[in-house]
Amino acid sequence: MEKIKIKSKEKNAIIESLKAGIVPRIGLQHIQVGRADEIKEMIKDYELISDGGAKTRFIIGEYGSGKTFFLTLSKLIAHEKNLVVVSADITTEKVLCSSDGKSQKLFSELITNMSTKTKQDGGALRSIIERWASKILQNNENITEENIYKELIPLEKYVACYDFSKVLTTYINAYQNGDDIKMSQALRWLRAEYTTKTDARNDLGVRTIIDDNNFYEYLKLFSGFVRLAGYSGLIVSIDELAILARLKSNVRNKNFERILNIINDSLQGTTEYIGFIFGGTPEFLEDKYKGMYSYGALETRLADNPFAKEGMKDLTGPVIRLDNLSQEELYMLFLNIRNVFAEYDETKYLVTENDIQIFMQWLMNRLGAKSFLLPRESIKAFIGLLSQLQNYPDTNISNYLSGAQIQEDKEPIDDELVSLTLGE
């Protein structure tokens, strides 16, 4: 059996992130535990989207259940399936539907965070456009405006495709001529950074901008464009839906209506090559006053299968509910962290499996069920223990557990480090 390898960059990111109480953004595969069924369902979604379908999912979990980490892992799996991912968090200043520029701001962040397998940290828009341009060159001796428009014909079925195509043409011409200013202006337009039509017309000769009114239409247009660039489709990942509860009721309901439109389009087959993944809490989903269940049509769409039982989940519906970390999963996580420290070399293990069991009993004596329900403190403590054993190789676990205390984490639980239940 081939030995698993871990890059130094991944090892350092994992250890330093966990030590600080946050989720690492690379190397997730080395520490993931559980969630196999949920991940399989997401892979089915991605295959459907790649085949021309559409899907809307809601990842629902308490703070500490693994929601944020699950979304991060889903993003990486989407990259492996040749999908482009745009991601952002809802805030009071960035929402799905507005009339004061807040939807435009959300769109701008989504496109700024556009990522692919080769550009996982965002900022992939430029490389996607240039990849598309290289495909034009494969089909033609050189790039002309006529060739560009011919390649963009498949986008004509989308609303607002004319100005979109014109801006892409401007970018390619500027790229060939070395005009950095014009390239920057084109990218600004595509990222919805123009706030007035006058400025856009003066700079690029277009009559429209991406704003609150056409936010959703342009996401669908981008799903078509990334296909032209050789990708399988677009995933739109939006977390922190619970922030919508803070909005005034009329604004909140408009956002719920936007979510309903997205769901209906996915179900009815009117959108293609696009998937939406929303992250939220059970309280926000089920709250009949300010949550999604306060909007009757959403409650109907998102209701659980009445025949689903504990241990017999129905993952085919739009809602995937994430359970909290179990003791067994926390144990497996500690084993994985041990592997990371040792770089999968058993001769470098700092603790035995029995040591880990002793450590977990020590945790239970001090933290109780909190040690695995909200395990940020537990994981930080385990990292600290391994660090000391590494710093002082002549010591053992008994030197540290006697009399040691865990300082209770005063930070609000933000679904970061406690999100370490992942898919296979």
pLDDT of residue 33: 84
Could you tell me the two tokens for 328? 């067994």
Produce one character per residue of 393-408: b if its CB has 16 or more CB atoms within 10 Å, e if not: eeeebeebbeeeeeee
Radius of gyration of the chain (CA): 24
Closest CA to 12 of 2, 33, 34, 27: 27
> Whose structure tokens read 């991060």?
72
pLDDT of residue 64: 64
Closest CA to 225 of 323, 155, 151, 291: 155
What value, to the nearest 5°, has the Cα angle with vertex 71 and ends 70 and 74? 85
**C-alpha 66, offset from chain centre:** 12
Alpha carbons 275 and 71: distance in angstroms, whole number: 13
Alpha carbons 191 and 105: distance in angstroms, whole number: 9
pLDDT of residue 147: 84
**What pTM was computed for the model?**
0.87
Produce one character per residue of 159-195: b if its CB has 16 or more CB atoms within 10 Å, e if not: ebbebbbbbbbbbbbbbeeeeeebbebbbbbbbbbbe
Indicate the burial class of 270 (C-beta count within 10 angstroms; 0-12, 13-18, 19 or more).
exposed
Q: Can you give the pLDDT of all 424 residues of the chain as single tens digits?
A: 567 899 999 999 999 988 887 778 888 889 988 788 899 999 999 999 999 999 999 999 887 677 888 898 999 999 999 999 999 999 999 999 999 999 999 999 999 999 999 999 899 999 999 999 988 888 776 778 888 888 999 999 998 899 999 999 999 999 989 999 999 999 999 999 999 999 999 999 999 999 999 999 999 999 999 999 999 999 999 999 999 999 999 999 999 999 999 999 999 999 999 999 999 999 999 999 999 999 999 999 998 877 777 667 878 899 999 887 788 888 999 999 999 999 999 999 999 999 999 999 998 887 776 656 667 778 888 999 999 999 999 999 988 887 665 555 555 444 444 444 433 3
User: What is the widest separation between alpha-carbon atoms in the chain?
Assistant: 76
